[in-house]
Amino acid sequence: MGRLDGKVAVITGGASGMGEATAKLFVSQGARVVIGDLQEDKGHAVAASIGPECRFVRADVASSEDVQGLIGEAVNTWGKLDVMYNNAGIGGGEGSIMDCTEEVFDRIIAVDLKGVWLGMKHALPQMLKSGGGSIITTASVSAYMGMMGQGAYGSAKGGVVQLTRVCAVEYASQGIRANCICPGGTLTPILYENPHAPMPVTREEMEERLKYVQPIPRAGLPEDIANAALWLASDESSFVTGQSIIVDGGWMASARQPWGQMQAAAANGSSGAQAAR
Ligand SMILES: NC(=O)c1ccc[n+]([C@@H]2O[C@H](COP(=O)([O-])OP(=O)(O)OC[C@H]3O[C@@H](n4cnc5c(N)ncnc54)[C@H](O)[C@@H]3O)[C@@H](O)[C@H]2O)c1
């Protein structure tokens, strides 16, 4: 028996990283999943690799029409929506407050904050129809720390934590829960294929650097986040709402290796590992 038997989920940003890992895990636990993403080739490939219980829809989470279409695909195909996972995100290296352009600032807020609000706004009516549901969002530890070069990203993620609380209290009595997950450094393309990174970094280099960010001496993995999402999506967390759950290997508990310091070390040509030592 699967932990999500019978449930229907939508996962944004499902073509890569945490969203992809979560789609795989959810289907393995009995859910049927629609993934939405801007990356069409990757999205179709991920859905095909998971099987008929997973479908892909091209959607920009910053577009109200696209988000409605994504949710509509789940409801039209499988009759309902139980889990909405607002996971798509961009940014995290936009430069200082002075350097970040208005265009970049607006796009990060549109995707990382408004996109989550749209996901909630359009999922809620479907969940009310079926008597409940679980809304999950990927926020970040940068919601809680002043991280250099993340004025837009950190503000969007902080906003997501607050939006989660408001959603939770507004709909708790109607059976809908809202929680967010705050990952620490997690080995996904957003870190090693980020066009805003101070210098190019390979997946292997990033994996090595991430070992030294937090007390648990390994990189966070997309599966670590998927496991948290699984619990929040399942009925095992039925008394949990309005929370932000930090999945960071103890980084927030220790403030051991500030992100800016690691990035600065990388820009100077030394590894994060050397900087940490
Ligand atoms: N990797 C980390 O260290 C880390 C840490 C904290 C929070 N996060 C957050 O985790 C979430 C998932 O990111 P990831 O690490 O798996 O990175 P990722 O780049 O592997 O995946 C993000 C996915 O979101 C998609 N996406 C981006 N903009 C979109 C849009 N407008 N509409 C639809 N899809 C869009 C991308 O195409 C990509 O497939 C993001 O919200 C990110 O901010 C990541």
Does ligand 1 come within 6 angstroms of the Cβ of 140? yes
Does ligand 1 come within 6 angstroms of the Cβ of 16? yes
| pLDDT over 80 (residue 252) | yes
Q: Please report the pLDDT score of residue 91 as a whole number.
A: 87
Does ligand 1 come within 6 angstroms of the Cβ of 119? no
Domains delineated in the chain: 8-197+217-255 (3.40.50.720)
Going by alpha carbons, the residue nearest to atom 16 of ligand 1 is 17
How far apart are the C-alpha atoms of 33 and 10, rounded to whole Å? 6
With cut-offs at 50, 70 and 90, classify the pLDDT of residue 265. Answer: low
Give the pLDDT confidence of 181-193 residue by residue, as tens digits.
999 999 999 999 8
Going by alpha carbons, the residue nearest to atom 43 of ligand 1 is 89
Does ligand 1 come within 6 angstroms of the Cβ of 81? no
Active site members: 153
Q: Give distance in angstroms: CA of 173 to centre of ligand 1.
A: 31
DSSP string, the chain: --TTTT-EEEEETTTSHHHHHHHHHHHHTT-EEEEEES-HHHHHHHHHHH-TTEEEEE--TT-HHHHHHHHHHHHHHHS---EEEE-----S--B-TTTS-HHHHHHHHIIIIIHHHHHHHHHHHHHHHHT-EEEEEE--GGGTS--TTBHHHHHHHHHHHHHHHHHHHHHGGGTEEEEEEEE-SB-SHHHHS-TTSSS---HHHHHHHHTTTSSSSS-B-HHHHHHHHHHHHSGGGTT--S-EEEESTTHHHH--S-HHHHHHHHHTT--HHHHH-
Give the pLDDT confidence of 190-226 residue by residue, as tens digits.
999 876 666 788 999 999 999 988 999 999 999 999 9
